[in-house]
Every structure is written in structure tokens, then in C-alpha cells.
């Protein structure tokens, strides 16, 4: 895997200390018969994510089938939230099930002189946390035996720690705001899009996004908007253009700057 395929993404997601929110409280009362109702307090606890990268255990690290051999290198995160750990291991298994099945090696049947070895690499990184939002990156690289080049991808996974679910674009946006978001996204990135002959009607919202320094960053796979050599495309929607179209619970906390 070429080092140029992987980049570090800077995301403003500060770490948190333990957070507790009191969402309701009924005070204790007494009546003339000296009876009382119990104090009712509900608290929502938002965990602070603790994470480390660990190797995924496989039956074997290399498998040979008729169409070539594949060397596996899978790494995931081990966090203090079991449901997050389960999510990523299931994603990796779904992406490359052969690596987890104890399949017997077969004789490779490729034309003589064609490379027989390929690669399948996947790893997960914890990026950070902003209150109830925790961000991870799932990186993948595959090179099939005999292919002209490998394919790489960076998928960003945002979890709502309150609801214990992944946040999709459908969850992120207010109902009926899709067209407005697309129009603003096109307008803000218009110069680059026009250079690549992409008109507004051809631009779709990607479901792959992360919280960047300046706004919500929509990430597009190889070949969708640009050539392979240009890598993944990233289009930014500034936060000041997103406040009225994003649901409040999925708009990360931002500093309030003084007016000029």
C-alpha cells in the first residue's frame, strides 16, 4: 500500500470529561398525613470514549484461491463501548467474508507472468468526540491479483452516543432541506466543480461525511467526481451555512465569534 493513499484528517472534536445531564426533577413534597412522594430524577450519561487499535484475529493471514492470493491485514478499535466494537467487527466481516471463513487454499490459475499476490487492508481509527458525537474512520485498501492498481477508501462513521446509533445524512439534515444543502454545497465549491465539468444537477449529497475545522465535509469515492489520481473528493459546507438545515443535536458545539 502506497503511503500517499492515506492521509490524516483534522477534526475539531475535543475530548470530554464525564458528562451528566439532569433532564427532569420533581421535588419532594409532604402532605398533612406526613406522606411524601419520592424525588424523581432522570439523568443521561454521555460516556467518554476510550479507544485503542487492536489486530483482528483471522484463521490465517493469507488465502489462495483460483483467481489469486490475498494477504490480509485487518485492525479495529477496542473501546469501552461494546456496541461500537461489535459494529466495526461486523463491518469488516461483511466487507471481506473470505478472510473469516476457514477456507482451504486452492491452486492459483492465472496466466503465467501475472502477479498472483494481492492485498486486503482495513483498519479503524478513533478521531475524537464532541459531546454526544463520536467520530471514527474506517480505511480500506484492496489490490486484486493482476489488477492495474489498488482501490482505497476512507469512510467516516459518526455515532450518536445517546441513541447508540450511527448518524446518517438522513439523520443529520432537517426534513426537506436536501435541496438547500446541495445548492449551498455546490455554490461554496463551485470553482472546483466547474473545473471538473460537474453541473449542479449532477451533484448528489454523499452519505459519507465528517465534522471538519470549517464545516461539514462530504466525502466522495474514487472516480465519482474526479480521476483516480486526484483521490477522494471532499466538499465542505461551512458551519455558518449549516445551522438552519442541520438538526440541533447533530450540529457540533462551536465557539461564538464576536461580530465585527
Tens digits of pLDDT across the chain (260 residues): 444 455 545 454 444 434 434 344 444 444 444 444 444 445 668 999 999 999 999 999 999 998 889 999 999 999 999 999 999 999 999 999 999 998 898 888 877 766 678 899 999 999 999 989 999 999 999 988 766 778 899 999 999 999 999 999 999 999 999 999 999 999 999 999 999 999 999 999 999 999 999 999 999 999 999 999 999 999 999 999 999 999 999 988 777 777 76
pTM of the model: 0.80
173: CATH: 3.90.640.20
Same domain for 162 and 180, yes or no, is no
Residue 13 domain flag: no
Whether residues 94 and 116 share a domain: the answer is: yes
Which of 94, 155, 165, 109 has its CA nearest to residue 134?
A: 165
96 and 143 both lie in a single domain: yes
What span, in angstroms and rounded, lies between the C-alpha atoms of 179 and 177? Answer: 6
CA of residue 118 relative to chain centroid, distance: 26
Look at residues 127, 150, 167 and tell me which one is the last residue of a structural domain.
167
Q: Where a domain ends, among 121, 151, 167?
A: 167
What's the rounded Cα separation, in Å, for the pair 250 and 126? Answer: 18
In a domain, 245, yes or no: yes
Question: Domain tally for the chain?
Answer: 2
Residues 6+ apart with CB under 8 A from 124: 53, 75, 76, 77, 88, 136, 137, 138, 139
> Is residue 207 in a domain?
yes
| 64 shares its domain with 152 | yes
User: What is the per-residue pLDDT for 52?
Assistant: 97
Q: What is the per-residue pLDDT for 10?
A: 47
Domain finish residue from 123, 141, 167:
167
What is the predicted pLDDT for the residue at 5? Answer: 53
Residue 26's H or E segment, with its range, is: strand 19-26
Amino acid at each position: 500500500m502506497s503511503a500517499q493513499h492515506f492521509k490524516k484528517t483534522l477534526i475539531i472534536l475535543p475530548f470530554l470529561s464525564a458528562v451528566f445531564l439532569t433532564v427532569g426533577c420533581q421535588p419532594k413534597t409532604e402532605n398533612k398525613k406526613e406522606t411524601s412522594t419520592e424525588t424523581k430524577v432522570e439523568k443521561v450519561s454521555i460516556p467518554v470514549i476510550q479507544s485503542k487499535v487492536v489486530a483482528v484475529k483471522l484463521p490465517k493471514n493469507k488465502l489462495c484461491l483460483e483467481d489469486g492470493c490475498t494477504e490480509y491485514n485487518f485492525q479495529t478499535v477496542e473501546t469501552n463501548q461494546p456496541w461500537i466494537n461489535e459494529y466495526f467487527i461486523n463491518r469488516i466481516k461483511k466487507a471481506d467474508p473470505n478472510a473469516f471463513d476457514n477456507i482451504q487454499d486452492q491452486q492459483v490459475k492465472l496466466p503465467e507472468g501475472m502477479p498472483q499476490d494481492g492485498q486486503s487492508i482495513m483498519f479503524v481509527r478513533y478521531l475524537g468526540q464532541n459531546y454526544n458525537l463520536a467520530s471514527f474512520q474506517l480505511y480500506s485498501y484492496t489490490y486484486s491479483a493482476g489488477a492495474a492498481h489498488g482501490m482505497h477508501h476512507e469512510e467516516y462513521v459518526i455515532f450518536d452516543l445517546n441513541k447508540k446509533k450511527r448518524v446518517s445524512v438522513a439523520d443529520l439534515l432537517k426534513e426537506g432541506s436536501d435541496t438547500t444543502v446541495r445548492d449551498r454545497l455546490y455554490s461554496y465549491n463551485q470553482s472546483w466543480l466547474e473545473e471538473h465539468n460537474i453541473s449542479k444537477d449532477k451533484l448528489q449529497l454523499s452519505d459519507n461525511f465528517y465534522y471538519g475545522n470549517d464545516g461539514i465535509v462530504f466525502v466522495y469515492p474514487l472516480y465519482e467526481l474526479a480521476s483516480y489520481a486526484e483521490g477522494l473528493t471532499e466538499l465542505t459546507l461551512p458551519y455558518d451555512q449549516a445551522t438552519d438545515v442541520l438538526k440541533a443535536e447533530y450540529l457540533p458545539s462551536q465557539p461564538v465569534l464576536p461580530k465585527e
